Copies of this chain bind each other. A is one copy, B any other.
Amino acid sequence: MRQFELTNEYLEWISEKIEQRDATAVRESLDGVNPADISALLGELDTEDSKYVVDLLDREVGAEIIRDLEEDTQADFLKAFTAEETASYIDIIDSDDAADILNTLPIKDREEVIANLENDEKANNILDLLRYEEDCAGGLMAKELIKCNINWTVVQCIEEIRRQAENVEKVYSVYVVDDEDHLKGRVSLKRIILSDDKTKIRDIYTEDLIAVETYMHEETVATIMRKYDLEAVPVINVQGKLVGRITIDDVIDVITELAEQERQLMSGISEDVEEDDSVWVLTRARLPWLLIGVVGGLVGAQIMGVFEESIAAIPAMAFFVPLITATGGNVGIQSSSIVLQSLANKSAFESGFFGRFAKVLAVALINGLALAFFVWLLNVVLGEETHISFVVSTALFSVVLLASFTGTITPLLLDRFGVNPALASGPFITTANDILGLGIYFIVAHLLI
């Protein structure tokens, strides 16, 4: 339970020791520290110094550190290692993480590392996993798992656990298979401990087991594991043979990644970027949505151009353009966000189309009336001309109604056509509603003045 805190003082001290290549001091000060904490320290060092530190540590600790690095850092870091060195770490990393690491290496390096693996079973497992797409169950699973034959006794099973346990970091359940390796069920360690040695697995295993198939999308796997509260799920191939196991930590990564992707879509960022990416990558991720917004703005300018004479005659007309467009955008985003949430947590049956829209309409009516009244009141207080106040409030009310409708329908349509509906809560819906709002405003003005 050693607590470790990465203070500035400690960083200065250890940096000095590393610079002096004081192996004893560095090794002693990091002894027993959790690999995740050492990783944070390495984040502050350059590649050469990091490699020096990792070389000093136990191979197991080093392997864990390398495994947990972010993808970009990992690829850079491994360039400092020879194929033999990399292979010695890969040899003790679980096959799923090993395959992920090898996926980041150039093909030539990858082959060299695999050729250098001492553990032939690991090499075969990795080659197996590299065949799968990264975002399906096959790409998430590890080959390491503990299985036993349905015809064995508890003591044979424990024998097998003893044999396999060295490779399997966390044992949740022992999977039960028949002679052809078809998955039949599972038996928990708890059950094994509590059973008599001579008991047949056949008599204590449970068939009550949820499995996923190799081709399933990672999002589906995450949903299933959350729904059924599973900490591990076996993976079977199309013949029902047990081929791997997915653990909950991989799925947490999937869940947080999906949330992050969604946030970026909502913010109008088109690639998975982070603050420490290069200026070029950051610009490339941001410019496309900005351009779409700009094009929307220019369309807006064309619409206003049609009403040039009215604006010249009553410039106050133009004053309320930002109010109208901003409200349209805000209402649209809110509406699409609520629909998105329903889409994410959808139950087996969708609530009726009609009921949904009746409610959207009701909320929009109340919001629209409240905002229109509020603006009308403020305009009266501020001494705005009566007919302009009337036009603004009428247009505002119409914009709230229409933006609620488009905000609700857009994610539903995108989802129906297989596009990620989160797209509808970003600049896309704002831009659309800006143009819509402008159109409504000037049409209302045209009709009422």
Binding site for B on A (CB under 8 A): 1-2, 6, 8, 11, 32, 34, 36, 40-41, 43-44, 158, 161-162, 165, 170-171, 183, 185, 188-190, 192-194, 207-211, 226-229, 231, 248-249, 252, 255-256, 259-260, 262-264, 266-269, 273-276, 279, 282-283, 286-287, 289-291, 293-294, 296-298, 300-302, 304-305, 308-309, 311-312, 315-316, 318-327, 329-331, 333-334, 336-342, 345, 347-349, 351, 356, 359, 362-363, 366-367, 370-371, 374-375, 378, 382, 396, 400, 425, 427, 430-431, 434, 438
Q: How far is the CA of A4 from the CA of B229 in the complex (A)?
A: 17
Q: For residue A436, give the distance in angstroms from its CB to the closest CB of chain B.
A: 11
B43 contacts A298, C-beta separation under 8 Å: no
Closest to A40 in B: B348
Residues of B contacting A171 in the complex (Cβ-Cβ under 8 angstroms): 188-190
Q: For residue A94, give the distance in angstroms from its CB to the closest CB of chain B.
A: 11
| Known contacts A334-B289, A371-B290; A263/B260 CB under 8 A | no
Residues of B contacting A325 in the complex (Cβ-Cβ under 8 angstroms): 322, 325-326
Q: How far is the CA of A331 from the CA of B189 in the complex (A)?
A: 54
Q: How far is the CA of A171 from the CA of B188 in the complex (A)?
A: 9
| Interface of A (DSSP majority class) | helix
Q: For residue A233, give the distance in angstroms from its CB to the closest CB of chain B.
A: 12
Closest to A1 in B: B209
| Known contacts A193-B158, A290-B330, A341-B260; A297/B322 CB under 8 A | yes
Q: For residue A150, give the distance in angstroms from its CB to the closest CB of chain B.
A: 14
Residues of B contacting A315 in the complex (Cβ-Cβ under 8 angstroms): 304, 308-309, 311-312, 315, 318
Which of B161, B194, B322, B349 is A434 in contact with, Cβ under 8 Å? Answer: B322
Residues of B contacting A322 in the complex (Cβ-Cβ under 8 angstroms): 296-297, 300-301, 304, 321-322, 325, 434, 438
